[in-house]
Amino acid sequence: MKKITEFVSATLTPHPQYPNRFTFTQSFKMKSPIKTSSRAIVLSIMLTSTMTGLFPFLMNPAMAAERAATPEKNPPGDIPDSQVFVKFQSPLGFSVQIPEGWSRSERRNGAAFAEKFNRIDVEIGTATGSPSVASTKTQQAVELVSTGRAVTIKAIKNVSLPAGSAILIDFESNSEPNQVTNKQLRLESNRYLMFKNGRLATLDLSAPKGADNVDQWKLIAHSFHWN
């Protein structure tokens, strides 16, 4: 008997008893045609999963099976303390300090900068209002888990930057497999969400887990400005 499953919605809510746990709920409709009836029976299924410090991923079975890559013992990716930074001025209406010499690729809605395993990505979109911690948990966090590789979200919180109030998502994920060796690295990332006048900037900073880039990431995040 043929069955058709349709994804309806997903929500992420704090556990009522454990503050570090979250409940990820997805709603599906399963349609099963019955030969003895001219109408299909629609069955709604609610799937709920709770995991400590982890947002489970149910929407894509292939990625759900992906395990977190083992972090490197001596991870590459430290940005040198002597690194020179230069200002990148985007025609999209923002500027940010970028390490000199990193490769750059621009696209219609943003730009990316990379050097070996380090990456900076800025994307500009539209929004009706400034995101909150609560809205981020039910929107951006759900999307991040559903589209990323073995994503573990460590924290979502409000932060203050020179560009204004922002939401910080602190998370880990796997890198894309190496095209030759198929090896993956475990990455740690900071995602900043910054809103102004109907525009939402998403600033991603990522490097191999264990790399020491605290000061450099702080410099980059604090250098972001709307024009």
Q: Per the structure block, which two tokens stand in for 4?
A: 């058709």
User: Given this model, what pLDDT does residue 11 score?
Assistant: 56
Q: Per the structure block, which two tokens stand in for 94?
A: 């923002």
User: Given this model, what pLDDT does residue 35 score?
Assistant: 44
Banded pLDDT at 162 (limits 50, 70, 90):
very high
Q: How far apart are CA 218 and CA 222, in angstroms?
A: 6
Q: Per the structure block, which two tokens stand in for 35?
A: 């030969």
Report CA 113 to chain centroid distance, whole Å.
17
Banded pLDDT at 131 (limits 50, 70, 90):
very high
Q: How far apart are CA 196 and CA 224, in angstroms?
A: 13
At residue 182, φ and ψ (nearest 5 deg) are 70, 10
Rounded mean pLDDT, 47-68: 50
Average pLDDT, the chain: 82
Q: Which residues, 6 or more positions from 154, have their beta carbon under 8 angstroms from its beta carbon? A: 53, 170, 171, 172
Banded pLDDT at 36 (limits 50, 70, 90):
very low
Q: Per the structure block, which two tokens stand in for 85?
A: 């930074």
Q: How far apart are CA 131 and CA 163, in angstroms?
A: 15
pLDDT of 53 above 90: no
Domains defined along the chain, listed by start: 4-52 (no CATH), 85-226 (3.40.1000.10)
